[in-house]
């Protein structure tokens, strides 16, 4: 259920302070296996790297039931409150930041506005409780695959939260290994539209960040799963517009075993969102002052 901002702010406990001043320093120095820890940064500067045991000293695990978006059905997880973890690691000052950037083992890098984490309940899942194995069954490339979620899986308490349910798998990264507090323009200067961009292009930039940049880089910035979408060859200039629209809406229409998923079918004004993404891609490809790649 969505929370109001009138709920009390979580304070950093003496235990958390002790852990973060002593235990965290030790864990950073020891440089443990990244596959079993979660790294925290602020504006790309490392803050801490915590093991599961250290995270559980910050807040107890709880049993959380959700509507699992990849499986499109109920699921139960053992999880830690993301809000309490962030309060302990960053102090409550994280609440005034712009966005959370999540990094995964496979190069997937979604971002979520801090405001979303303040108005909806998010959790760091550690294990699955309703069946053996910490995994989900996900349709990918035309087949159902068993996907391992470890070390961490970001989930949202969405059973009574219509907005989060409607957004499907947006903000549900698995194999999570890193969290960074970022400012959009600092982190993605080469992805930002040129000065004077239209409202449609700006809306497309916002939609691209949510739906596309978690997998695709643009001018070298974004995820690392899909191909680059601007530098060298922009699909907005080299693909037929009707083909590109079909590909964004549902790649399986063109390539039945495409790994790229369809744009969220439950998205309101879905056709307009596709128009806005295309307008953004065209603006970035045509801008004479387009950002230079890395």
pLDDT digits (tens, 9 = 90+) for 190-200: 888 888 899 99
CA–CA distance, 116 with 102 (Å, rounded to integer):
14
Q: Model confidence over 206-224: pLDDT tens digits? A: 889 888 988 888 988 888 8
Q: Do 30 and 168 have their domain in common?
A: yes
Q: Do 24 and 164 have their domain in common?
A: yes
Q: In the listed set 185, 216, 235, which residue is the last one of a domain according to the structure?
A: 185
Domain holding 155, by residue range, is 14-185
Q: Do 93 and 153 have their domain in common?
A: yes
User: Residue 28 domain-assigned?
Assistant: yes
Q: Do 124 and 212 have their domain in common?
A: no
- How do 217-218 and 176-182 pair as beta strands? unpaired
User: Residue 294 domain-assigned?
Assistant: no
Q: Do 158 and 282 have their domain in common?
A: no
Counted domains in the chain: 2
- Beta carbons within 10 angstroms of residue 124's beta carbon: 25
Q: Model confidence over 251-292: pLDDT tens digits? A: 888 888 888 888 888 788 889 999 999 999 999 988 744 555
Q: Do 24 and 117 have their domain in common?
A: yes
Query: pTM of the prediction?
Result: 0.72
Q: Do 162 and 252 have their domain in common?
A: no
- Asked if pLDDT for residue 162 goes beyond 90, the answer is no
User: Residue 33 domain-assigned?
Assistant: yes
- Check which CATH number belongs to the domain holding 268 and give it: 1.10.760.10
- Check which CATH number belongs to the domain holding 101 and give it: 3.90.420.10
Q: Model confidence over 104-124: pLDDT tens digits? A: 998 888 899 999 999 999 999
User: Residue 166 domain-assigned?
Assistant: yes
Q: Please report, for residues 144, 177, 178, the alpha-carbon distance to residue 174 in angstroms, rounded to integers and kept in the order given.
A: 17, 9, 11
Q: In the listed set 185, 214, 235, which residue is the last one of a domain according to the structure?
A: 185
Task: Tell me whether residue 208 is exposed, middle or buried, using C-beta atoms within 10 angstroms of its C-beta: 0 to 12, 13 to 18, 19 or more.
Answer: buried
Q: In the listed set 151, 185, 219, which residue is the last one of a domain according to the structure?
A: 185
Task: Tell me whether residue 154 is exposed, middle or buried, using C-beta atoms within 10 angstroms of its C-beta: 0 to 12, 13 to 18, 19 or more.
Answer: buried
Q: Do 123 and 144 have their domain in common?
A: yes
Q: Do 156 and 250 have their domain in common?
A: no
Quote the mean pLDDT of the chain: 84
């Amino acid at each position: 259920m969505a929370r109001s901002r009138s709920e009390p702010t979580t304070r950093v406990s003496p235990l958390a302070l002790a852990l973060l001043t002593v235990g965290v320093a030790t864990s950073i120095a020891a440089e443990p296996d990244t596959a079993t820890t979660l790294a925290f940064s602020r504006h790309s500067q490392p803050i801490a790297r915590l093991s599961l045991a250290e995270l559980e000293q910050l807040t107890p695990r709880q049993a959380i039931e959700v509507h699992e978006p990849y499986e499109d059905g109920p699921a139960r997880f053992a999880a830690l409150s993301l809000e309490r973890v962030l309060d302990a690691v960053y102090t409550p000052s994280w609440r005034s930041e712009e966005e959370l950037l999540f990094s995964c083992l496979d190069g997937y890098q979604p971002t979520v506005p801090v405001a979303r984490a303040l108005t909806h309940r998010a959790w760091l899942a550690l294990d699955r409780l309703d069946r053996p194995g910490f995994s989900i069954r996900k349709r990918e490339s035309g087949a159902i695959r068993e996907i391992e979620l470890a070390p961490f899986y970001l989930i949202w308490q969405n059973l009574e939260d219509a907005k989060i349910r409607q957004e499907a798998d947006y903000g549900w990264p698995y194999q999570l290994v890193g969290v960074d507090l970022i400012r959009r323009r600092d982190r993605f200067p080469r992805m930002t539209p040129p000065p004077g961009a239209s409202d449609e292009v700006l809306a497309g930039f916002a939609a691209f960040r949510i739906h596309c940049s978690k997998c695709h880089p643009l001018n070298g910035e974004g995820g690392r799963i899909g191909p680059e979408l601007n530098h060298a060859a922009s699909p907005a200039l080299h693909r037929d517009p009707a083909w590109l629209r079909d590909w964004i809406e549902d790649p399986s229409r063109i390539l039945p075993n495409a790994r790229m998923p369809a744009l969220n079918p439950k998205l309101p004004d879905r056709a307009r969102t596709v128009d806005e993404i295309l307008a953004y891609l065209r603006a970035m490809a045509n801008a004479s002052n387009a950002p230079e790649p890395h």
